[in-house]
A and B are shown apart, each in its own frame.
Chain A
Amino acid sequence: MSSVSGFLNVYKEKGYTSHDVVAVMKKILIGAGLGEGVGKFKVGHTGTLDPEAEGVLPICIGKATKLADYAGAGLKRYSAVLKLGMTSDTQDDTGSILTESPVTATREEIAAAVLSFRGEIEQVPPMYSAVKVNGERLYDIARRGEVVERKPRAALIKRIDIVEFHDDSTLTIDVLCSRGTYIRTLCHDIGEKLGCGGLMGSLVRIASGIFSIETALRIDQMREAAERGNLLALIRPIEKCLPFSSVVVSEDATPSMLAGNKVKIVSITSCDNNPKRGRRVFARGFDGQIAGLYEYVYEQQASPDDERVLILKPLVMLASNS
């Protein structure tokens, strides 16, 4: 039997690595008869969630693994507990405490400091992170007790709000941010700004792109669904999980498209209300078969008098014969 493709919205619990979740889900999928065999059948995730963190971890299955990068490029929303008045080597409460100092800022001052991180910010990756410097993972260097220079990286905080104060130095924040934003570094930097230091107490990913916590299911719930034969219904089609529209291509142009060629814009038979350079769309053949993810690009015509024309260039082929 053939393998399925799509995404599953998994709720990762504390203690699991993201890789553990992928491995367990792969077993469950194969057990449910939804994957061909261990070797050929691909399962992945769209962006690591630290073992101590919990929440939304979208799992990509089959051909959807080719789109993991696109699915992971979306915004992430987190709920984090920020503890002020201390710092640690890992920037969260799993590490060794480095400093402790009293919190003198008022709640208004704390709120102002938190909100000041909205917009484009720069973060220095924490020593305990998977970023590589000179080919070596930072956490490996950190475990040897060394500290190396890291280049700041850009991050976008689209929205940041205070959900509630638990006491005068502990609060929950809600952050909508770009991929690659370190929430524990954000907590650390808020603490630095206030002068008292800060670290991340706990982290829950509330949403990753379209996947949100409301519909995310824990591994035991996935296993239960598999036992009742309902797992397939939980797998979401690729096109529904990414923020791109879909177009349909004419019968004439379909075979060439499915073979991996570019598509002329005149071959699109469905309505696309906004064709423009850089825009990405899924394309389907006239019979509904998905061909892949495409991008509108300009192509220079052979004859120099011709104007450049807009075409669809394949980015990721998803057709079954590709």
Chain B
Amino acid sequence: MLGNFDGMHMGHLALFDVLAQTADTAELAKVVLSFWPHPVSYMGAPGFGLLLSSREKARILEELGADTFIEYPFDDELRNMPPGDFIKTVVVDQLNAKAIIVGEDFCFGRNREGSAAYLRELSGTHGFDVHVVDSVTYDGERVSSQLIRECVSARNFGRCAELMTRPYQLSGVVEHGKQLGRRLGFPTLNISPSPEKLLPPNGVYLTSASILSDEGGQTYESITNVGVNPTVSEGGAAIKCETYLYDFDEKIYGKEVIINFYDSIRGERKFKDTDALKRQVTSDIETGRTLWKKLMLQ
């Protein structure tokens, strides 16, 4: 299947279903062909962030059962390539595709001239089969990556999780922080999300943290601060993602974690001193516990 698949949301999953059905019946490999960088971010759209990093997308596709995930380099050459050339050189000659699955709104090649209808025309020349999958509508709205990005920016994680069928996530390798949380009495697990990721507005969130391991991994209830720590850092600091895990106190530097977002607790604020910050964090941790209890009762 061809497309960017940012979010691997309901609409993308409908495509993957067709891919899996087609490939299983025809005994072919399930190949997902995306582009890297994302064409919109390549064009330099300001403030554009992705719902999934490459690694996150690859992990989800692997779990779904994709055989191969390709991120085809998106550059000026590809951008200016006539759509027919792209299909011929990449999809037909290199991948030897026998069936192509795209969403009805898929566009590719120079000036986005290539469409699902154009692919159908090409199928006569190249002999591949084309499956065009309709968009998915949920609660009266067409499910799109852009719609979910808007939900992340609006801190509407419930809707994100519905539309993607999994929570919005940040993931990365646990790094050494400044030990500030530990000194304040709240040890946190720190990761640097991929730079291309769309981040929620700075603030504190109700989350869960899955520590990945070869055996599968362990998930803990947690709260996460996304922001620049204005109380203790100078302006211009990079955005950090710090997570406090309930009932967990181990050092796991170097391990990979996935932070899943469920709800918003508060926006980012600057406190007059670390004591005030400490009181607020204590209260955030209490709020988080209460919210988690409520969430579990639902």
Instruction: Report which A residues bind B (CB closer than 8 A).
Output: 6, 74-77, 158-159, 176, 207-212, 214-215, 233-234, 236-237, 239-241, 243, 245-246
Task: Give the complex CA separation of A208 and B126 in angstroms.
Answer: 20
Q: Which of B24-32, B197-205, B250-258 contacts A (4 or more CB under 8 A)?
A: B24-32
Q: Write out the residue numbers on chain B whose beta carbons fall within 8 Å of the beta carbon of A241.
A: 98, 127
> Are A209 and B25 neighbours in the complex by a CB distance under 8 Å?
yes
Let me know if B99 is at the binding interface, CB within 8 A.
yes
Interface contact B124-A210, CB-CB below 8 Å: no
A-contacting 9-mer, from B2-10, B128-136, B137-145: B128-136
* A210 & B99 in contact (Cβ 8 Å cutoff): yes
The distance from the CB of B97 to the nearest CB of chain A, in whole angstroms, is 9
Residue tally, chain B, CB below 8 Å to A:
18
Which residues of chain B from 139 to 189 have any CB-CB distance to chain A below 8 Å in the complex? Answer: none
Check if B22 is an interface residue, CB within 8 A of chain A. yes
Q: Is the CB of B98 within 8 A of A246?
A: no
Given contacts A207-B21, A209-B27, 7 further A-B contacts (CB under 8 A): A6-B127, A75-B24, A176-B25, A210-B98, A211-B129, A234-B124, A243-B28
Closest chain A CB from B84 CB (angstroms):
15
Residues of A within 8 A of B130 (CB): 215
Which residue of chain A has the shortest Cβ distance to B120 in the bound complex? Answer: A215
Minimum distance in angstroms from A6 CB to a CB of chain B: 8
A selection of 25 A-B contacts at a CB cut-off of 8 Å is: A74-B26, A75-B24, A75-B26, A76-B25, A176-B21, A176-B25, A207-B21, A207-B25, A207-B26, A208-B25, A209-B25, A209-B26, A209-B27, A210-B22, A210-B26, A212-B22, A215-B129, A233-B124, A233-B125, A234-B124, A236-B127, A237-B127, A239-B127, A243-B98, A246-B96
For B12-27 the 0/1 string (1 means CB < 8 A from A) is 0000000001101111
**A158 x B96 contact (CB < 8 A):** no
The answer, among A74, A215, A236, for a CB contact under 8 Å with B25, is A74
Q: Which of A176, A208, A211, A234 contacts B24 (CB 8 A)?
A: A176
Please give me the 3 A-B residue pairs with the lowest Cβ-Cβ distance, nearest first: A233-B124, A210-B26, A240-B127
By beta carbon, the residue of chain B nearest A246 is B96
Most chain A Cβ neighbours within 10 Å, of B25, B98, B131: B25
CB closest chain-B residue, reference A237: B127
By a CB distance below 8 angstroms, the chain A residues around B26 are: 74-75, 207, 209-210, 243
Whether the pair B131, A214 counts as a contact (CB closer than 8 A) is: yes
Give chain B residues whose Cβ lies under 8 Å from the Cβ of A158: 24
Bound-complex Cα distance A241 to B96 (A): 11
Nearest B residue to A158, CB-CB: B24
Contact among B27, B98, B131 with A240 in the assembled complex (CB-CB below 8 Å): B98
| With contact pairs A234-B124, A240-B98, A241-B98 given, residues A159 and B131 touching in the complex (Cβ less than 8 Å) | no
Residues on B with C-beta less than 8 A from A211 are 129
Shortest CB distance B115–A (Å): 17
Least CB distance from B25 to A in Å reads 5
Give complex CA distance A241, B26 in Å: 9
Inter-chain contacts of B129 with A (CB < 8 A) = 210-212, 215, 236, 240
Given the known A-B contacts A77-B21, A234-B124, A240-B98, are A210 and B131 also in contact in the complex, defined by CB atoms under 8 Å? Answer: no
Distance, CA A211 to CA B129, complexed state (A): 8
Residues of B within 8 A of A239 (CB): 127
Task: Check A75–B27 contact: CB distance below 8 A.
Answer: yes
Chain A residue nearest to B125 in the complex (CB):
A233
A196 and B222 alpha carbons, distance in the complex (Å): 53
* Across-interface contacts of B125 in A (CB, < 8 A): 233
Question: B22 CB to closest chain A CB, in angstroms?
Answer: 6
8 A Cβ contacts from B25-82 to A = 25-28
Note all chain B residues with C-beta closer than 8 A to A208: 25
**Which chain B residues lie closer than 8 Å to A234 at the CB level?**
124
The CA of A41 and the CA of B129, in the complex, are separated in Å by 25
Take A210-B99, A240-B98, A246-B96 as given contacts and tell me if A77 and B127 are in contact as well, using a CB distance cutoff of 8 Å: no
CA distance A243 to B21 in the complex (A): 14
A75 vs B25: C-alpha distance when bound (angstroms): 5
- Tell me, in angstroms, the Cα distance from A236 to B126 when the chains sit together: 8
CA–CA, A243 and B26, complex, Å: 7
Which residues does chain A contribute within 8 Å of B99, judged by CB atoms? Answer: 210
In the complex, A239→B127 CA distance in Å? 9
Query: What's the nearest-Cβ distance from chain B to residue A217, in Å?
Result: 13
Shortest CB distance A5–B (Å): 12
A76 to B27 CA separation, bound complex (whole angstroms): 11
Instruction: Point out the residues of chain A lying under 8 angstroms from B22, CB to CB.
Output: 207, 210, 212
In angstroms, Cα B93 to Cα A240, docked, is 12
Query: Which chain B residues lie closer than 8 Å to A215 at the CB level?
Result: 129-131
The residue that A159 contacts in the complex, of B24, B96, B127, with Cβ under 8 A, is: B24
> With A and B bound together, what is the CA distance between A208 and B22 in angstroms?
10
Distance in angstroms between the alpha carbons of A158 and B27 in the assembled complex: 12
- How many whole Å from A63's CB to the nearest CB in chain B? 15
- Measured in the bound complex, the distance between the Cα atoms of B22 and A240 in whole Å is 14
CB distance from A11 to the nearest CB of B (A): 14
A210 to B96, CA, bound (A): 14
Contacts of A243 in B (CB 8 A): 26-28, 98
Closest to A282 in B: B96
Residue of B nearest to A243 (CB): B27
A170 nearest CB across to chain B (Å) = 24
- A212–B101 Cα gap in the complex (Å)? 13
